[in-house]
Structure 1
Amino acid sequence: MDIISHLTRTVSPAVLGDDHSPAKKSLLEQFYAIFAARLADNETYGRFSNENIARDDQGFYDRVWTDGAHRDRISRELAGAHNVDATASRGLIAMAAPLAYHEIKSLAGTTPVPQFLNDNLSSYQQHIPAWASAVIPAGMLAAAPVVGHRISDTTSTAPLVREEEKDGSFMKALLPIIGLIILGALAWALLRGCQDDPTPVATPVVAEEVVEDEQTMVASAIEPASLALATGEGNTLFACRMNVGDEALQTTLMNALSTTFGGESDKCRADVDDSFAADMPASAVLAAILPIFQSSPNATMIIKGDRILVNSPDAAGLEQLVADIQAAAPGFMVSAEGPLDIQGEIDNSLVAADTALNNIGENPDPRDVARALSLQVINFTLDDAFIPDANKPFLDRAAKIITEVPNMELVIIGHTDAQASNAYNMELSQERADSVRDYLVSQGVDASKLTTKGMGETDPIATNATEQGRFRNRRIEFTLYDSSMVDGNGIAITAGDGGDMGTNITPDNNMSDPDLNPLDGTMPDPDLNPLDSNNDDLLPDGDDPTQGTVVDPTN
């Protein structure tokens, strides 16, 4: 498990935002190693292990290192080593500490954080600088190699020492003269170059560095490919979503799913976009781990990068599931999902959504805007549809972008878990989608750009058997309304959902359903489950007066 790479991918973008400075990125990488070494100490971690640390708690750094002299040394040494302003160094560290803490806790899963960090010491130890020995627990610093201990079994270094002592004074006297000679030669070469060729001497080098930096920026913007699965009862595939960089990877994953789940793999929806990686390391072990996962009912598995996160309502079964998958995929970090941290999920989602908006550029692709909007968690309180205050600043910013992007039309889709009746959930999900639309309109978005649809519990992305799964299913998705796909019978819409998985909603060609397009927001759809193959309302057709008042068939 490469802890530093993981923190660099997840925390650094949230701390740096639009600042792509390689120096600051390197500074944070080294800080993560020092920070991990500090958290590996049981006494240090025990001071705040029971606290609810907010992700914007910039005073958390002061509680990790209670000695002010240690804090000052860390920021000063890192600033000097990476040529960053000392004040900026202190600010970056303070921002990164609580975010890195939550990511490390998440990686540790059910393993105590100090034990996890000590078990994985080799993954970050080499990043710890020698001076940090004064601010971290003893034994965390990698042993420095012995340099110059001896040249060979027969050669002594004594003559070298004597030679240095003998000629040292003379050489020191020559150094200023040599420096002046070199400086004069460089000045002459620069003057001669300007006279012969107006092109700056360093132009080729500068151009090469700029290209390399742009490539680094592009690479850092690419998200790892991911696959999220949920089983139902009886070894069935309940839900499936994937984020992949190209169709080749999509085909690879679908083939593996089909081998294990057969025709149920058709439930899997894919968001295929070059903002995701075109490779998934875990694809090589899917044939081994999917049958193991299939045997666990009402379970969840999320694969992203080098991490596999699993959950199940059966505690004993979950422990066995983790052990079995780890044995089948020894090169991956397999862990059980920890308790649901609602505030943490909200905070993380808003950071991720804000970062995604930062990365869309001046002329954004509407698809990227929809995906960024879907990353946020809008945590409505029970049975209501009021926009939480935490989401309003982000929605305000999104409203400005939607207004400025020409021809952007979005569909806002509400989803619920399965804890209430289907009819109630349909109504609540519609109200919540409408609430998001109304708020965006109040912030200046043209209402004609926004369509809403409530899907209730009919399109889950996780199991409803766990608290974490229900939380994921309660969501708002933004997708693109593509008018070019209208053919008179329906519409196809494709975009991101929740940032983790994509949607591909196909036309509603159910001719028994009086609303041939359940997503267009115009004609009420009396069918309480608009995605199935019949018109099976359990209510009178009074919900659509054009269809009469007879109760729908129940078959």
Structure 2
Amino acid sequence: MDIISHLTRTVSPAVLGDDSTPAKKNLLEQFYAIFASRLADKEAYGHFANENIARDDQGFYERVWTDGGERDIISRELAAAHDVDATAARGLIAMAAPLAYHEIKSLAGATPVPQFLHDNRANYQSHIPVWASAVLPAAMVATTAAAAPAGTRISDTVSMAPLQHTEEPKGNFMKALLPIIGLIILGALAWALLRGCKENTNPEPVGTPMVTEQQAGTGDNKTVASSIEPASLRIATGDAGALYACRMNVGDETLKTTVMNAMSATFGDDANKCRADVDGSFAMDMPAAAQLASILSIIKSVPNASMVIKGNEITVNAPDATTLKKLVADLQAAAPAMTVIAEKPLNLQSEVDNSIAAAGTAMDNLGANPSPRDVARALSLQVVHFGVDEAVIPDANKRLLDRAVALMKQVPDMKLMIIGHTDKTADAAYNMKLSQERAQSMKDYMVSQGADPAKLMTKGMGETDPIADNSTEQGRFRNRRIEFTVYDESAQNNNGVVATVGNESGIALDPNANAQ
């Protein structure tokens, strides 16, 4: 497992954004090796092992290295080695530390982080510079040096303290210094050779995915090698271009405000229908943000249309082929840097099979003590394919619910709400009743498998909370869904549904469906 390559692929883009210069990428690469060596020390790791580290906690770096002098050495040496401004280097390190920590924890899975890093130290030790012995625990420097494979030199100076200048008689001092200088030069040459080999190699992605998510709007599922998911906006229009449905997943309040301002400017008070999931697991930028006003104006002009903006893609649908073709062309002209595609025809069985596999993989990656939010997010990935007018849970979904029951027993404070939704093909009263019955059937099954009934709540929303249009087969499919979320009585809205905004109770409301 190439830990450094993984962090370079997953964390560096989130830290650097558009400023992805080779110098800064290389600086972060070297920092990851130093950081991993620090986390491999049980004593150092123990100071924050029980903390709930937020992904944007830039103060976390100061808790990893409590010694301000050591932090200065790291930023100063990395800045000098890569010709980067020292202030910029400090900022990059502070942003990267919590993200890298989460990625390493995810890679470790159920294995304690120090043990995981100790077992895989050969993956990162060659990236550790000579001067880093001054900022790493003495035991870790000694362990790393002793464990280094033949031909890989990390450091010939393994002192636990920064190197200090000692006055010696001139002749003896120079004689003693020459061998050390030679060894340092050899170490630097070896490190440069290893870097050159690495840069000329295109490594395969790490085999274990961090998060599996349902690709919005396409019906396909993809494995994402990072817990930082692209920010997204999903909207649907109704008759006369009114806003019918709106959901967004964003990494911070700044991006939420940017998107909401554009929505309000285009749709007026209808923009209040937008529900936002603000969570550090989503990106804090949206490539389409600069063209959002033009994009929204185009989609508003098409009745009963739907659109998903996610990463560099815009996926759209419309009631007829002619309108859809024109919509794709207009959006591509308005946002030439984006990839605009028409939503694929619905393949229901593929959607069901892929979603259950995705939910299973997400649960595999939860770790030993998962957060209730992550459990809810994983469960919400599954498509529950109910029969027409029925609330009978398919056997394929029961395996996932069994796993959820076991997790709830391990995490005593976990409380979940199960929310049922339908499309708009029947009358409103019938849809409300059916959605409640389906949510209740999920709870009843989990209770029959040993779940505490007091920790499972249900709510039927009927057709009142769509995430897509009801004019296309794909849109109706996505509106028929079961969602899991963390139950927090204080966070309920007027309909009694748990709010999904915020890091503690928010979940990613990806399109899931139950055939009606």
Q: Judging changes above 3 Å, is the alpha-carbon distance between structure 1 residues 200 and 232 closer, same or farther for their aligned structure 2 residues? A: closer
2:399 counterpart letter in structure 1: P
Question: Using a 3 Å threshold, how does the CA distance of structure 1 residues 464 and 23 change in structure 2: closer, same or farther?
Answer: same
Which of 301, 315, 318 is matched with 1:312 structurally?
Answer: 318
1:272 aligns with 2:278: yes
2:509 maps to which of 479, 499, 502:
499
- The residue number in structure 2 matching 1:96 is none
Match of 1:466 in 2: 472
Distance 1:371 1:318 in 2: 32
CA shift, 1:472, in A, is 0.5
User: In 2, are the aligned partners of 1:374 and 1:496 still within 8 Å (CA)?
Assistant: no
- Whether the 8 Å contact between 1:478 and 1:496 is mirrored in structure 2 is no
Per-residue deviation, 1:313? 0.6
The CA distance in 2 between the partners of 1:450 and 1:234, in whole Å, is 40
CA 1:386–1:22: 2 relative to 1, 3 Å:
farther
The structure-2 alpha-carbon separation of the partners of 1:358 and 1:248, relative to structure 1 and needing over 3 Å to count, comes to farther
Aligned to 1:325: 331
Q: Equivalent of 1:368, from 366, 374, 385?
A: 374
The structure with the larger Rg is 1
Question: How far apart in 1 are the matches of 2:347 and 2:377?
Answer: 23
Q: CA deviation at 1:380?
A: 0.6
Closer, same or farther: CA 492–454 of 1 in aligned 2, 3 Å = closer
Shift in Å, 1:387: 0.5
- Distance in 2, matches of 1:409 and 1:441, equals 13
Matched, 1:350 2:353: no
Q: Contact between 1:242 and 1:501, CA under 8 Å: does it hold in 2?
A: no
Q: Which residue of 1 aligns with 2:293?
A: 287
Aligned-partner Cα distance in 1 for 2:457–2:344: 36
Q: Is the 8 A contact 1:413 1:477 kept in 2?
A: yes
Sort the Cα spacing of 1:334 and 1:488 in 2 relative to 1 into closer, same or farther, 3 A.
closer
Shift of 1:497: 6.0
User: Residues 332, 262 of structure 1: CA spacing in aligned structure 2 closer, same or farther, 3 A cutoff?
Assistant: same
Query: Alpha carbons of 1:358 and 1:222: their partners in 2 closer, same or farther (altered >3 Å)?
Result: farther
Give the CA deviation at 1:306. 1.0
Superposed, 1:102-117 pairs within 5 Å as none
Aligned to 2:263: 257
Q: What is the CA deviation profile of residues 362-415 of structure 1, one whole-angstrom value per residue up to 9, with x for unaligned ones?
A: 221211211211111111111100101221211211221122112111111111
Please name the residue that 2:393 is paired with: 387
- Determine if the alignment matches structure 1 residue 359 to structure 2 residue 365: yes
2:246/2:274 contact within 8 Å kept: yes
Q: Give the counterpart letter for 2:309 in structure 1.
A: I
Could you tell me which residue of structure 2 aligns to residue 480 of structure 1?
A: 486
Task: Report the alpha carbon displacement of residue 347 of structure 1 after superposing the two structures with TM.
Answer: 2.1
Residues 302, 20 of structure 1: CA spacing in aligned structure 2 closer, same or farther, 3 A cutoff?
A: farther
Report the alpha carbon displacement of residue 235 of structure 1 after superposing the two structures with TM: 1.3
Q: Equivalent of 2:432, from 414, 426, 432?
A: 426
Distance change in 2, residues 1:330/1:446 (3 Å): same
Check 1:304–1:492 CA distance in 2 against 1; reply closer, same or farther (3 A cut): closer
Q: Which amino acid aligns with 1:342?
A: L
1:444 to 450, 464, 472: 450
Letter in 2 for 1:428: L
Contact 1:232 1:299 in 2 (8 A): yes
Pair 1:377-2:383 in alignment: yes
Partner residue in 1 for 2:415: 409
Report the alpha carbon displacement of residue 294 of structure 1 after superposing the two structures with TM: 0.6
1:455 aligns with 461
Task: Tell me the secondary structure at the aligned position of residue 238 of structure 1.
Answer: strand
Residues 289-347 of structure 1 show CA distances to partners (whole Å, capped at 9, x for unaligned) of 11011100000001111111000112111100000001111111111111101112112
Residues 501 and 388 of structure 1, relative CA distance in 2, 3 Å threshold:
closer
C-alpha deviation, 1:25, in angstroms: 12
Letter in 1 for 2:479: N
Q: Percent identity?
A: 61
Kindly state the Cα deviation for residue 489 of structure 1 after the two structures are TM-superposed.
Answer: 12
Match of 2:229 among 202, 223, 226: 223
Counterpart contact for 2:277–2:508, Cα < 8 Å: no
1:244 aligns with 2:215: no
C-alpha distance 386-325 of structure 1, shift in aligned 2 (>3 A): same
Q: 1:472 and 1:498, CA in 2 relative to 1: closer, same or farther beyond 3 A? A: farther
Shift of 1:426: 1.0
Q: Unpaired runs of 5+ in structure 2?
A: 9-140, 156-190, 195-205, 212-224
Superposed CA offset, 1:484-521 (max 9, x none): 5589997854345663289xxxxxxxxxxxxxxxxxxx
Structure 2 SS opposite 1:228: strand
The SS at the match of 1:375 is coil
CA distance in 2, matches of 1:275, 1:399: 25
Q: Is the 8 A contact 1:270 1:501 kept in 2?
A: no
Secondary structure (helix, strand or coil) at the match of 2:277 reads strand
Give how far 1:242 is off: 0.6
Stretch of structure 1 that moved more, 342-351 or 414-423:
342-351
Question: CA separation in 2, counterparts of 1:382 and 1:221?
Answer: 36
Once the two structures are superposed, the pairs formed by residues 114-133 of structure 1 within 5 Å of their partners are none
Residues 305/449 of structure 1: CA separation in 2 closer, same or farther (3 Å cut)? same
Deviation at 1:200, TM superposition (A): 4.4
Give 1:423 deviation, angstroms.
Answer: 1.1
CA distance in 1, matches of 2:228, 2:471: 32
1:426-466: per-residue Cα shift (whole Å, max 9, x none)? 11111100110011112211111111111111111111111
Equivalent residue for 2:81?
Answer: none
CA distance in structure 2 between the aligned counterparts of 1:462 and 1:352, rounded to whole angstroms: 21
Letter in 2 for 1:500: D
* Other-structure match for 2:111: none
How far 1:275 moved relative to its partner? 1.2
Q: Helix, strand or coil for the counterpart of 2:413?
A: coil
Question: Contact 2:485 / 2:498 at 8 angstroms: preserved in 1?
Answer: no
Contact 2:391 2:438 in 1 (8 A): yes
Superposed CA offset, 1:233-267 (max 9, x none): 11100000011111111111111111111111110
Shift of 1:205: 5.0
- 2:104 maps to none
1:449 and 1:205, CA in 2 relative to 1: closer, same or farther beyond 3 A?
A: farther
Q: 343-352 or 277-286, which moves further after superposition?
A: 343-352
Q: 1:20 to 1:352 in 2, by over 3 A?
A: farther
Per-residue CA distance 1:91-149 (angstroms, 9 max, x = gap): xxxxxxxxxxxxxxxxxxxxxxxxxxxxxxxxxxxxxxxxxxxxxxxxxxxxxxxxxxx
